[in-house]
């Protein structure tokens, strides 16, 4: 019932889980040359809790008991702010890459608690509570499998030619249910303990078999994880100072007749809960998102400042303008994220960040990220893609030439370190990963806009405009 160490976490991953990578079954993710990097990145979460510097933030004490602060159910603005700082700290330790093995899982559990409490489903709620205590007390790592593969986007689940395009119940038994189908873009699945499965959209009549939420251990019979190798390649810490040691892995998460015992089934056959669960989950998860984006944004700002100095151009007017824009962008996201916590609401005794403000922060982040990348690349210069390799750097026959010819206002080693940081962040695979996450993770930009539109309360603005136009508002106030 105590916090686990990073080593205990890693040891726990050596089980029968069925993981595939580059066409082959992986015997142990921890010991795999590439997946092991991701597992050790995730383990930073546990190291943090052991680190005196972060202990206050990362560990929650309740009487004699201690558990990871991610599991603390937020009751007010302060709790949400603390959760934000914890996510931010973990990501900063993760070198701009979120750890995400407790953040997203607790986002899902808080959402399930609210939805089931609201709906009055006492049995479902108790199952969620039990599972929550199970994870909390054993200090488990969790993935959330939400996005279905979807097939034909214009059709609902029950209208698809292949019923497996959304995960579904294929059989109900006395002791549990059997599910099939696949989820996509599931983060961290190969190196967590539990996989929580949520619906990815609202459902309607006829969609009953697809309207379910449940959890299974990662090592469950029939659960097959096909890991993307997108971030592979780890040989050059000189040019990839971040991504050589930090990695996240997404899977195509296939359920082939997976048995789920009833106490792990949070709801099933409930089209009425599907959309609510999806929306309530993102109310928490987008707040997690804007929290974990902050170290990335800070690093872009800091790297922009550093490379402007390294190149000797930091006093130019256009450079100051660009740095000002970068800082303004990053701090707008931070400010709005903090404000979302300050403006929190209560539902079923659980505090959640203000929906409009959270989405405003997320949308602000998403729509200008590529512009931020462009500016940092602009400040850094062509060496981002024409510079020397780590092997050049290490070669005694080459290095003096590089030391002689590559300085700017800073010596070559410091200048190249900053340039390579930026190259890793913006031009190589890790840069592409972050760019795509910016426009797609936790909902696309279009989904953000819809969420903003829905969450906006027009009554104040509309009433003011109608009054100034001299029109009585009674019949027109409805959105």
On the 0-12 / 13-18 / 19+ scale of CB atoms within 10 A, 313 is middle
Q: Tokens 């979460």 appear where? A: 45
User: Of the candidates 47, 184, 188, 341, which one interacts with a second copy according to CB under 8 A?
Assistant: 184
Under rule CB under 8 A, which residues in 38-97 are in contact with a second copy?
92, 95-96
Does 33 contact a second copy by CB under 8 A? Answer: no
Q: Which is nearer to a second copy, 124 or 431 (CB)?
A: 431
Which among 442, 164, 28, 108 is positioned nearest to 280, based on CA atoms?
108
Q: Rounded to the nearest whole angstrom, what is the least distance from the CB of residue 137 to a second copy in the complex?
A: 32
User: Of the candidates 67, 226, 281, 284, which one interacts with a second copy according to CB under 8 A?
Assistant: 226
Which among 431, 455, 149 is positioned nearest to 296, based on CA atoms?
431
DSSP state of 203: -
Under rule CB under 8 A, which residues in 311-330 are in contact with a second copy?
311-313, 316-318, 320-321, 323-324, 327-328, 330
Which among 228, 214, 227, 226 is positioned nearest to 258, based on CA atoms?
214
User: Of the candidates 27, 205, 405, 474, which one interacts with a second copy according to CB under 8 A?
Assistant: 405
Pick the stretch among 46-54, 107-115, 149-157, 275-283 that binds a second copy (CB under 8 A): 149-157
Residue 231 has, within 13 A of its CA and on its CB side, a CA count of 29
Determine contact, residues 66/58, Cβ cutoff 8 Å: no
Distance CA(208)–CA(156), nearest Å, equals: 11
3-state secondary structure of 461: helix
Pick the stretch among 79-87, 202-210, 258-266, 334-342 that binds a second copy (CB under 8 A): 334-342
Does 383 contact a second copy by CB under 8 A? Answer: yes
Does 362 contact a second copy by CB under 8 A? Answer: no
Map residues 415-454 to x or -, x wherever contact with a second copy holds by CB under 8 A: --xx-xx-x--xxxx-xxx-xxx-xxx--xxx--x--xx-
Does 204 contact a second copy by CB under 8 A? Answer: no
User: Of the candidates 64, 174, 175, 397, which one interacts with a second copy according to CB under 8 A?
Assistant: 397
Q: Any residues with CB less than 8 A from the CB of 222 and at least 6 apart, and which?
A: 255, 256, 257, 258, 259
Q: Rounded to the nearest whole angstrom, what is the least distance from the CB of residue 430 to a second copy in the complex?
A: 10
Locate the DSSP E strands across 289-431: 345-347, 350-352
Under rule CB under 8 A, which residues in 342-361 are in contact with a second copy?
342, 356-357, 360
User: Of the candidates 17, 83, 224, 293, which one interacts with a second copy according to CB under 8 A?
Assistant: 224
Q: Rounded to the nearest whole angstrom, what is the least distance from the CB of residue 130 to a second copy in the complex?
A: 32
Q: Rounded to the nearest whole angstrom, what is the least distance from the CB of residue 396 to a second copy in the complex?
A: 9
Distance CA(86)–CA(399), nearest Å, equals: 41
DSSP state of 148: B
């Amino acid at each position: 019932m105590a916090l686990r160490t990073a080593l205990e976490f890693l040891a726990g991953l050596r089980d029968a889980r069925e993981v595939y990578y580059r066409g082959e079954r992986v015997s142990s993710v921890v010991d795999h040359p590439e997946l092991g990097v991701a597992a050790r990145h995730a383990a930073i979460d546990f190291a943090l809790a052991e680190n005196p510097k972060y202990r206050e933030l990362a560990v929650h004490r309740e009487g004699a008991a201690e558990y990871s602060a991610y599991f603390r159910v937020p009751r007010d603005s302060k709790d949400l702010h603390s959760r934000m700082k914890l996510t931010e700290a973990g990501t900063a330790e993760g070198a701009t890459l979120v750890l995400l093995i407790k953040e997203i899982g607790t986002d899902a559990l808080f959402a399930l608690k609210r939805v089931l409490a609201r709906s009055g489903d006492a049995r479902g709620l108790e199952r969620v509570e039990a599972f929550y205590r199970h994870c909390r007390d054993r200090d488990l790592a969790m993935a959330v499998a939400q996005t279905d593969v979807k097939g034909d986007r214009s059709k609902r689940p029950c209208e698809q030619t292949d019923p497996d395009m959304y995960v579904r119940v294929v059989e109900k038994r006395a002791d549990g249910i059997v599910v099939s189908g696949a989820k996509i873009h599931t983060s961290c699945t190969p190196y967590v303990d539990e996989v929580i499965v949520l619906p990815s959209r609202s459902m309607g009549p006829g969609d009953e078999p697809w309207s379910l939420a449940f959890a299974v251990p990662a090592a469950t019979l029939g659960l097959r994880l096909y890991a993307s190798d997108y971030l592979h390649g780890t040989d050059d810490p000189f040019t990839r100072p971040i991504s050589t040691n930090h990695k996240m892995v997404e899977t195509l998460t296939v359920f082939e007749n997976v048995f789920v015992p009833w106490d792990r089934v949070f709801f099933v056959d409930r089209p009425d809960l599907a959309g609510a669960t999806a929306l309530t989950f993102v109310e928490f998860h987008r707040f997690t998102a804007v929290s974990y984006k902050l170290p990335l944004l800070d690093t872009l700002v800091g790297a922009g400042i550093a490379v402007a100095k390294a190149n000797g151009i930091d006093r130019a007017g256009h450079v100051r303008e660009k740095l000002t824009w970068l800082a303004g962008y990053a701090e707008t996201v931070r400010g709005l994220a903090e404000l979302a916590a300050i403006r929190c609401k209560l539902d079923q005794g659980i505090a959640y960040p203000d929906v409009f403000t959270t989405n405003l922060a997320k949308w602000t982040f998403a729509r200008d990220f590529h512009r931020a990348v462009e500016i940092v690349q602009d400040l850094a210069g062509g060496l981002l893609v024409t510079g020397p390799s780590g092997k050049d750097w290490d070669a005694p026959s080459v290095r003096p030439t590089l030391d002689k010819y590559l300085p700017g206002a800073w010596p070559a080693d410091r200048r190249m370190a900053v340039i390579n940081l930026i190259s890793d962040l913006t031009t190589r695979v890790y840069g592409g990963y972050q760019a795509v996450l910016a426009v797609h993770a936790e909902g696309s930009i279009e989904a953000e806009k819809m969420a903003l539109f829905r969450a906006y309360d027009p009554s104040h603005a509309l009433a003011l405009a109608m009054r100034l136009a001299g029109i009585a508002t009674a019949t027109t106030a409805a959105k």
